[in-house]
Amino acid sequence: MGNMRTFVLMAMLTALVMAMGGLVGGRGGAVIALVFAGAGNLFAWWNSDKMVLRQQGAHLVTRQQAPELVDMVAELAQRAGLPMPAVYVLETEQPNAFATGRDPQNAAVAVTQGIMRILSRDELAGVIAHELAHIRHRDTLTMTVTATMAGAIAMLGNMLMFSSIFGGREDNRGGGLAGLLAMIFAPMAAGLVQMAVSRTREYEADRSGAEICGQPLALAGALAKISRAADQVVNIPAERNPASASMFIVNPLHALRMDRLFATHPPVQDRIARLQAMAGRTASAPAAPSRMPRTGQRGPWSGA
DSSP for 18-77?
HHHHHHHHHHHHHHHHHHHHHHHHHHHHHHHHHHHHHHTTEEE--TTTSHHHHHHHHHHH
Distance CA 246, CA 282 (A): 29
Is the Cβ–Cβ distance between 8 and 16 less than 8 Å? no
User: Is 202 assigned a ligand-binding role in the annotation?
Assistant: yes
Active-site entry in 131, 170, 211, 239: 131
DSSP 248: B
| Residues in Cβ contact with 191 at an 8 Å cutoff, skipping those fewer than 6 apart | 150, 154, 262
Paired residues of 88 in beta bridges: 60, 110
DSSP for 270-286?
HHHHHHHHHHHHHTTSP
Active site residue 211: no
Distance CA 3, CA 232 (A): 34
Is the Cβ–Cβ distance between 34 and 17 less than 8 Å? yes
Q: Which residues are catalytic?
A: 131
Binding-site positions for Zn(2+) read 130, 134, 202
